[in-house]
Chains A and B, each alone.
Chain A
Amino acid sequence: MLLQRLSDARGVSGKEDAVREIILDEIRTHVDEYRVDNIGNLIATVHASGGTEKPHRVMVDAHMDEVGLMITQVDKNGMLRFRPVGGIDPRVLPAKRVLIGQDAIPGVIGIKAVHLVTREEAEKVIKFDQLYIDIGAKKKEEAQEVIRLGDVASFVTQSRLLGRTVMGKAFDDRVGCAVLAELVKERYPIELVAVFSVQEEVGTRGARVAAYDIEPEVAIALEGTICDDLPRKEDVTPVTQMGHGPAITKMDRSLVCDRRLVDLLVRVATEIEIPYQFKAPGLGGTDAGAIHLVREGVPAVAVSVPARYIHTPVSFISLDDFENAVKLMKEALRRLDAEFPWGERMQ
C-alpha cells in the first residue's frame, strides 16, 4: 500500500528526497504537469474538467517531512550527540533504534542499565544533551568515516497492517500525502494544484513559498493530526478520536479556518454519509496557517486523519478514517466550483 511505503520512507525535514521520489512515481501518469521548486516542494497540477478558460485554482497541500534527529557532535568514544528536528518529547527516545544519514547507518539510543540507575535518577527525564546514539564505532575517527555533522536520523519502524488499523511512523504527514496522491487521480471542475511540501515540522516553510508561486483562490491542508484518546482520569479533550472520521479544523494555533469552507465540508460529509469530527480548537498548527497569510490572504481550511502518538517512533491510524478523508475531499473538490462563493468577502 502506498501509505505504508510512504511511512517506511525516511524524510526528516530538509531531506525529503526519498519521499518525493515515491510520490512522483505514484502520481506522474495522473497529473498534467509537475515540477520541483527551489525549496524542494513537489507541485503537480491537474487541469480543470469542462474546458473553462479561467478555472478557479485550488491548492491542496500535504507535507512530506517528518520529525527526526540531527547529529551535532561526535564524541571521543565514537558516540553521536544530537538535537531534535521538529517537536519531539525526549522521553520517547531512550532505547530506540534509528537510521542515520544517506547510507542509513543503524544505531541505538543508549541508556544506562537499570541495575546501575539510582532511585533518584530513575525519576528524572533524560534530556537531549544527555542522550547519545551508539553505532558500534570504537572512536571518534571511526564514526566520522560514516557520519557527518548535520546528518539526520529517523526512527526504525516498519509499517504493518493490523485489521483496519495501520501501524507505522511519520503518519504526520505521510497519511496526508497518501490522501493527496489519491485526489490527483481524478479531474475536477476546478484546477487542482497538489503541493507535497517540505519543512512543515520546522515552521511550515515549504507551503509558504509554494502558495506564493501558485496564488491559489482556496487552499486545503491535509494532515495527520493529534489524537490523544487514551483513557484518563480528568475530562480533557482527546483533540480527535481514531475511527471517528476525518477531522475538520475550525481553528488551531496557526489559523482561523474559512467558515465557508468548513460549512461546505460538513455539508458534503453529511450528504455522502461519512462520519466526520471537529478537531478540538487551539492545538497544533498546519501548513494552512502559513498558506492563508500568503500575498493578500487565501481562504483556507485543514482536514486531518487522526493519528495516535504522532511525533514518536510509532503511531496508528484507522484505514476507515483515511478512506473517508479521501471520499470527503474528492466530493468537496467536485462541488467547490459550484458551491464556494468565489471572490466574495468573508462576512
Chain B
Amino acid sequence: MELDKLLQELCDASGISGYEGAVRELVADAMRSYVDEMRTDAMGNLIGLRRGFGEEPRKKVMLAGHMDEIGLIVSQIEKGFLRFTQVGGYDARVLPGQEVLVHGKIPLPGIVAARPPHVLTPEERKKVIKMRELFVDVGLPPEEVETQVNVGDLITLHAPYTALRNKRATAKAFDDRAAVASILLCLEELSSMRHSWDVFAVATVQEEVGLRGAITSTFGVFPDIGIAIDVTHGDTPGVPETETVEIGGGPSITVGPNIHPKVYEALVETAKRYEIPYQVEAAPGRTGTDAWAIQVTRSGVPTGLLGIPTRYMHAPVETIELTDVRRTGRLLALTIAHLDEVDLSR
C-alpha cells in the first residue's frame, strides 16, 4: 500500500459529517481485497469483516476510524455572497483568506473573503472576525449564485495534501482519515499473519457531530473488544508539553476510565515486544473519540484507543508524520494476532 498516495486521495476527498459518500467509496476500494465481507449500515458506516482462523464461534475485535471531516454550511445568501456556519469546530481565525469548495449544484471554488489591509481601520485590525461576520465569495454574479447555491449546501476547505520534510505531510482531514489509513495498513499486515479473531474494520460516520456512527456500528458488530483510532494533539509551539505528544514519536496509547485496562496493557505489551515506539496518553475523562461511544454500547465493550500525533488539529493544515500511521497499523495488526493471550476479566 502506498501510504502517501492513499492519504492524499482520502484527505483531498470531501466528506463532511453526514455526507461521507465519496470518502466511503475510496475506503471501500482500498479495503475490498483484504476482507471477506463488506457492508454499509443505515447510518453510512462502512463495515468490513476479515474472518479469523480460529474455531467458530470466533471472538470479534472492531477497529474504528472516522471518515467524516469538519466543514462549513451555507446559512444565507446575501447579494451573491454566502454567509455560513460550521459543522464541527473551527477556530474562526483560520478562515479569512482560505480557499474553499462550495458544494452547490456543481462544485464552485470560492474564497473566505478577507478585506484588503488598505481599507482597515486600526480598530478593525485588532479584532478577530467572528464566523457570523465572514462571507464566502464564489466570484459569480448574484443571479448565477442564486441558481447554483442553496442554504444548507456544504462547504469544504480547499487545502491539498502536501508532503513536507521527514516524511511529514499536511492536509485538511488527517482527522481522521490518517486513522482510516492505519486501519487499512493493519488489514494489509494481517493478510500475512494468522489471527484467530474476526476483525471488523469500520470506517465510521458523523464522529465530529457526536460520535454517532460509532454508536450504531458498534451495536451492529457487538465486538468483544473495540479499538478506536483517532488523531491526538502533536507538539506545537506555545502549547505546554503536558497537553501534547511528539509527532514522529509513535502512536499514543490512551489510558483512563474510557479504556479497558487489559486492552491498554495488550497494546502496550505488543508495542514493547515488537519495539514499536509509542507514547502514553492519560485521559481523565471524556476522550472525545469514537472510543467514548464504543465503550457503552449494549452491555458494554472493552475499549482501547490509539492516537496519531497531529499538529494544528481542525485547521486545514493538519500535520502528521507518516511513520506514525505505519506504526499504528502495525501495532494494531500485531495486537490482534495475539488477542488469544488477552484475559479480559477484571
Contacts and interface: CB of A to CB of B under 8 A. Distances in A.
A244 to B, nearest CB: 12
A334 B116 CA distance: 34
Nearest to B233: A113
Contacts of A54: none
Contact of B118 (A93, A132, A136, A226): A226
B315 A97 contact: no
A283 B321 CA distance: 46
B243 interface: yes
Nearest to A109: B317
A226 B128 contact: no
A157 B139 contact: no
Given A87-B118, A112-B239, A309 B113 contact: yes
Interface in A119-148: 122-126, 130, 132, 134-138, 142, 146
A88 B116 CA distance: 8
A345 interface: no
Interface in B305-322: 310-317, 319, 321
B115 interface: yes
B109 A94 contact: no
A135 B165 contact: yes
B89 A97 contact: no
B129 interface: yes
A125 B128 contact: yes
Q: Is the interface of A mostly helix, strand, loop or mixed?
A: loop
Contacts of B79: 231
A108 B319 contact: yes
B138 interface: yes
Interface in B107-162: 108-109, 111, 113-120, 125-129, 135, 137-141, 144, 159, 162
B248 interface: yes
Interface string B210-239: 000000000000000000000001001111
B118 A314 contact: no
Contact of A108 (B91, B92, B117, B317): B317
Interface residues of A, number: 64
A76 to B, nearest CB: 10
A77 B99 contact: no
A136 B163 CA distance: 9
Given A135-B165, A316-B137, A97 B170 contact: yes
A126 B115 CA distance: 17
A236 to B, nearest CB: 8
A87 B91 CA distance: 24
A89 B128 CA distance: 11
A314 B111 CA distance: 7
Nearest to A115: B313
Contacts of A309: 97, 111, 113-116, 137
A106 B127 CA distance: 29
Nearest to B163: A106
Interface in A216-275: 226, 228, 230-231, 239, 243
A231 B135 contact: yes
B109 A167 contact: yes
Given A125-B128, A138-B166, A114 B119 contact: no
Contact of A94 (B111, B163, B310, B315): B315
Contact of A95 (B137, B288, B312): B312
Interface of A: 75, 77, 79, 87-89, 91-97, 105-117, 122-126, 130, 132, 134-138, 142, 146, 156-157, 160, 162-163, 165, 167, 226, 228, 230-231, 239, 243, 283-284, 308-316
